[in-house]
Structure 1
């Protein structure tokens, strides 16, 4: 059996909001992927990966996971001695789930019990999300478990609230004028410090209020409109979301993107939003006319992820 591939993920909606119980919508992104492999560890990349996996295995061994989700740590450690490493082209610090894919790959290979993603019930999803949260906390200090869950399931996931997630089908991508795309900010972002800034902001009552009353409302309305393929309400709420982020998430918007973000709002040609925690990495763009947006965003590296 060939080693399964674990794809990157894109959080279309819900960045920071899911910390505060908003909805979220995530998609697998097959452009980037990772898989566990064996080698003689001759390259620096393979060596470094193997050494960091050894440290990670020690951490996993210290976790007290529920019986139905236990990991075979001794097998993992034996495999590491045989040259196991994680072969991945998922960029780190880009908000597309590099650690999530690794966690999913480890669970798939070393979980004592075998699970088939398509047969996992909603209750099991909830449990698995908790387990993945513990497994991924090693990388981020605190994790919701969402990223590994998406990478593991390889299906679009609707985050209903802090506790509940469900599989969801999204409208099929087809060659229209409109597009959802990624823009490379040209710098990496670190999740930890960005989340720290967010929690500092949450200490002020005014920010908490606007987060709950405005951000979460626009965010959830975007998800609802996208799943129903209602483009006018989608773009109306996207604009509100983009304006809100421009005003309140300034520290999370990479400097290289400031002007382009504002230009989109001023011309209504496209709207930008954070992809993940921000600070660098990718930014998400939405437009009804990709050709026009592409011209206006000349000089940026862009990747289309969805057409409509």
Structure 2
């Protein structure tokens, strides 16, 4: 047995800001995917996945039945028969490994599920987001529910505010475009929960809250608007501002050995870096007007182009 594929995602803009109602833009990233599978537990990874899923079932029992109910008996039987989540999505990299798993479980075992084929009203999207937020909290301690939502629907999601999300279209890629969004592999696994704790601790300081509202969220919102309009000239100006604010105020989320690289991008304008997800490791997101120049500047690192314009 092999279930349908669920893809990884990239939150282009909105990391941390969406906790405090900034805009956000999340896009599917089809390079990585995962699916539920039963073909005998033949590897250490599949055995570990199977036992994690068994713990997840216990957690699902606790979710309010008013929000969502699952066919737990079938799920339990499938797990006893050796089902696991077979995934190429790297864990701790900010591209939604737990999101794809949550989407797969909801898709196969939820009763009265909202399907991708329905007319996805704002209300239905919010309901899905709330369900996914509860489900994914098992993995992160606190989840917005956006990663599973993106993975489940496999379409770009625009976050206007916490209670206002919509499916959206993004400008078509230009295969000959020199501008690009890319992923830079930090080579370190990031942990979401400790990074979110640092952020929440910082939020207790008035100065940090002010900076978040007047700079971080302001630039994030501008980047989302620019990207959706296809105004890439303005996008680069605003991404530079966002990159600078992140370097000044989100240092703990940026692995130490990348501080210099981050600053170098701001100084040379060859590329601008930003957090991909919660940071602390995993991928770092990069924006450049000239991908060849960026490749040259970052020649010691592995770049994966996500989007060309």
Contact 1:65 1:131 in 2 (8 A): no
1:93-142 CA-to-partner distances (Å, cap 9, x unmatched) read 10001100000000000011243214222111101111111101101111
Secondary structure, counterpart of 1:8 in structure 2 = strand
What is the 5 A alignment of 1:160-171?
A: 160-171=160-171
TM-score, normalization by structure 1: 0.97
Asked if structure 2 preserves the Cα contact closer than 8 Å seen for 1:15 and 1:275, the reply is yes
Contact 2:12 2:276 in 1 (8 A): yes
Note the alpha carbon deviations across 1:192-228, whole angstroms, 9 max, x for none.
0000110111111011001001111100000001100
Equivalent residue runs for 1:189-208 within 5 Å: 189-208=190-209
1:253-300, Cα deviation, whole Å (9 max, x unpaired): 112321111110001111100000000000000001000010000111
Q: Unaligned stretches of 5+ in structure 2?
A: none
What does 1:50-89 align with in structure 2 at a 5 Å threshold?
A: 50-66=50-66, 69-89=68-88
Q: Do 2:219 and 2:242's aligned partners in 1 also have CA atoms closer than 8 Å?
A: yes
Task: Report the counterpart of residue 229 of structure 2 in structure 1.
Answer: 228
Residues 98-247 of structure 1 mapped to structure 2, 5 A cutoff? 98-119=97-118, 120-175=120-175, 176-247=177-248
Matches of 2:276 and 2:113 in 1, distance apart? 32
Contact 1:27 1:155 (8 Å CA) reproduced: yes
Q: TM-score normalized by structure 2? A: 0.97
Are the aligned partners of 1:54 and 1:80 in contact in 2 as well (CA < 8 Å)? Answer: yes
CA distance in 2, matches of 1:35, 1:2: 7
Structure 1: give runs of 5+ residues left out of the alignment: none
CA-based RMSD of the aligned residues comes to: 1.2
Contact 1:183 1:282 in 2 (8 A): yes
Q: Which residue does 2:45 correspond to in 1?
A: 45
Q: Which moved more, 1:92-101 or 1:111-120?
A: 111-120
Structure 1 residues 152 and 160: CA distance shift in structure 2, 3 A: same
* Displacement of 1:230: 0.5
Q: Is 2:2–2:37's contact at 8 Å kept on the other side of the alignment?
A: no
Partner in structure 1 of residue 261 of structure 2 = 260
d(CA) in 1 for partners of 2:10, 2:99: 11
Equivalent pairs, count? 307
| Local SS of the residue matching 1:117 | coil
Does the 8 A contact of 1:173 with 1:307 survive in 2?
yes
* TM-fit CA distance, 1:174: 1.2
CA deviations 1:7-59 (Å, max 9, x no partner) are 00100000000001001000000111000010221221111111111111111
